[in-house]
Structure 1
């Protein structure tokens, strides 16, 4: 049941002792504010790392071929090493359990036209798995499928901005666009979070590009993603094994870095995991230290408050107040001040992050923010600490005889 007199008495006590209330509130507000800012900065760094993988999957491995830089088995330096469909199939079958998605890639630049509109765009020959590796999101229609690959179909999937450039507000689905004299049916339009450059790409079936423009089954590169059940160390080992396998298969010296190049995102992932792990520990220690300082501060203030109110407690007991009511008044006042100050500290902390957030971009801190649940938990901990710190002396003071309390006060 709501006791109006009790709350009136609490607010009168807070108003009467403003300096005491401000001191208590400042301790809590400062602790929560600092706690919010620290965790916001930590989250901002994590957001920056996440942005590194916006364009492609964070578990991707890219395989490129080049020219030999070392002689091997009687073969000369500068020999061109090419990748073919059979290399793609070999990797796909050899490492079946370690691969999530895999696709060959062929990059070409085309003059693309529709009626009287045209433009130059990068067109990539891929397999269906490229949708997941490139993080393509289908807006309308579909992506390349196995039937397109098998039958060398003249179908194309275009980015959202190509659709806008060539078709305006008209849907491109079902329309035919011309790639330097050859018509392709638009079967899909996609979006990509990687930015405008990614939405000005187009995709064709790899086999169609090979048949019409290359005349052989060569591929420019092979992209894949490793099984997400693998740790970073396991993924790095997989990448090393894959490199050795391909060098042996293509008669390349084991130490030749140019002929077969494998870019394994697990290396960056491991570095980021190490950095964020260390940063997380550092932020946790600093945050915990801040929280402990706040707990010690509010605890000392509560002990002082109870001692200061000994005479008041004696008067209340002399007027018939029960020990329970005396303890309740002190604790409710403590919880109220701590909760309000904690909320104020949260608002200030969030405000500071929003204010300085844009300028922190140059320090690799992106959208620094903190989840309210973390701050709520920290505030509850402070409230609990203040309540516990005030309960023991308040309980003890409530048992003192009125005459002794009045004499000591």
Structure 2
């Protein structure tokens, strides 16, 4: 069986009740592929056999890598009889975002021990999400610093190697602004080329990781357009930043000093 996310949520209670009785589980399509299981297969959980009753498909990558086990059986397996950790409440589509607060208040009124959180608030307060966000920011910061230093080194070397040429251009009447514009255009072109090649490389690597057994079902093998735009914008920023020092050095260079350096 292959269920969509909505069909799975709408599965009748009789099927779930039977799962409680005969020990059945439902697997997300990515998890089923990694475990090489199909409907009718037997899966061992905590040394107990369970029958794979079906494979479901969701719009969420994480849900496609998950397993649905009847609550009573899961409580018995984990030794937490009568206990639950989370309850996901799906609001009706007719409820607007500004009404979420009132829904949270009504849930709190049911039992003071409940701690209802909207999705955004839950993500912000979850330690795992915070850790993942901090790691992503740290990695991005290091990558930006490495990129800026690499661009600066490349452009600085380019200016030093062409010191004599810059002196000749200044001697025949090129203003410092024009030379600075040439260096800036070169840096921007290199940054654009690097952004495009880096984006293509990232896309290919993402496809490979999404198709591997170790990370399959954990990554979305697509890059959104806004991510591409932000990547190009960051690349341009690094290109401009990396060209700033070489531009300043070239603009301060006197024709006589540049020609003497060439000689």
Superposition TM-score tier, normalisation by shorter sequence: 0.5 to 0.7
On the 8 A contact 1:357/1:367 being kept in 2, the answer is yes
2:184 paired residue number: 331
Superposed, which structure 2 residues align to 1:147-226 within 5 Å?
225=90
Residues 354, 276 of structure 1: alpha-carbon distance in 2 compared, 3 angstrom cutoff:
same
Task: Choose the corresponding residue for 1:306, options 151, 159, 167.
Answer: 159
1:134 paired residue number: none
Normalising by structure 1, what TM-score? 0.36
On the 8 A contact 2:5/2:57 being kept in 1, the answer is no
Q: What is the DSSP-based 3-state SS (H/G/I as helix, E as strand, rest coil) of the residue aligned with 1:356? A: helix
On the 8 A contact 2:152/2:246 being kept in 1, the answer is no
2:136 paired residue number: 283
Instruction: Give the deviation of 1:224 after TM superposition.
Output: 6.6
Residues 404, 285 of structure 1: alpha-carbon distance in 2 compared, 3 angstrom cutoff:
same
2:201 paired residue number: 348
Matched residues in 2 for 1:284 and 1:230: separation? 34
Match status 1:405 vs 2:261: no
Structure 2: gaps of 5 or more residues: 16-55, 60-87, 92-98
Residues 362, 378 of structure 1: alpha-carbon distance in 2 compared, 3 angstrom cutoff:
closer
Q: What is the DSSP-based 3-state SS (H/G/I as helix, E as strand, rest coil) of the residue aligned with 1:369? A: coil
Match status 1:371 vs 2:224: yes
Superposed, which structure 2 residues align to 1:228-243 within 5 Å?
228-229=100-101, 237=108, 240-241=111-112
Instruction: Give the deviation of 1:52 after TM superposition.
Output: 8.7
Instruction: Give the deviation of 1:309 after TM superposition.
Output: 1.8
Matched residues in 2 for 1:370 and 1:385: separation? 21
1:72 paired residue number: none
1:131 paired residue number: none
Report which of the two has the higher share of helix: 2
Instruction: Give the deviation of 1:242 after TM superposition.
Output: 8.5
Report which of the two has the higher share of strand: 1
Normalising by structure 2, what TM-score? 0.53
Q: What is the DSSP-based 3-state SS (H/G/I as helix, E as strand, rest coil) of the residue aligned with 1:370? A: coil
Instruction: Give the deviation of 1:408 after TM superposition.
Output: 2.1
Instruction: Give the deviation of 1:300 after TM superposition.
Output: 2.6
Task: Choose the corresponding residue for 2:146, options 280, 283, 293.
Answer: 293
On the 8 A contact 1:306/1:390 being kept in 2, the answer is no
Residues 366, 404 of structure 1: alpha-carbon distance in 2 compared, 3 angstrom cutoff:
closer
* CA radius of gyration, larger in: 1
Residues 238, 399 of structure 1: alpha-carbon distance in 2 compared, 3 angstrom cutoff:
same
Structure with larger RCO (C-alpha < 8 A, sep 6+): 1
Q: What are the Cα deviations for residues 344-379 of structure 1, in whole angstroms up to 9, with x where unaligned? A: 110011011112212257565142433343343243
Task: Choose the corresponding residue for 2:235, options 358, 379, 382.
Answer: 382
Q: What is the DSSP-based 3-state SS (H/G/I as helix, E as strand, rest coil) of the residue aligned with 1:290? A: helix
Instruction: Give the deviation of 1:294 after TM superposition.
Output: 0.9
The alignment covers a number of residue pairs equal to: 183
1:394 paired residue number: 247
Q: What are the Cα deviations for residues 156-197 of structure 1, in whole angstroms up to 9, with x where unaligned? A: xxxxxxxxxxxxxxxxxxxxxxxxxxxxxxxxxxxx9669xx
Q: What is the DSSP-based 3-state SS (H/G/I as helix, E as strand, rest coil) of the residue aligned with 1:357? A: helix
Instruction: Give the deviation of 1:270 after TM superposition.
Output: 4.5
Matched residues in 2 for 1:239 and 1:368: separation? 41
Instruction: Give the deviation of 1:316 after TM superposition.
Output: 1.5
Instruction: Give the deviation of 1:402 after TM superposition.
Output: 1.7
1:316 paired residue number: 169
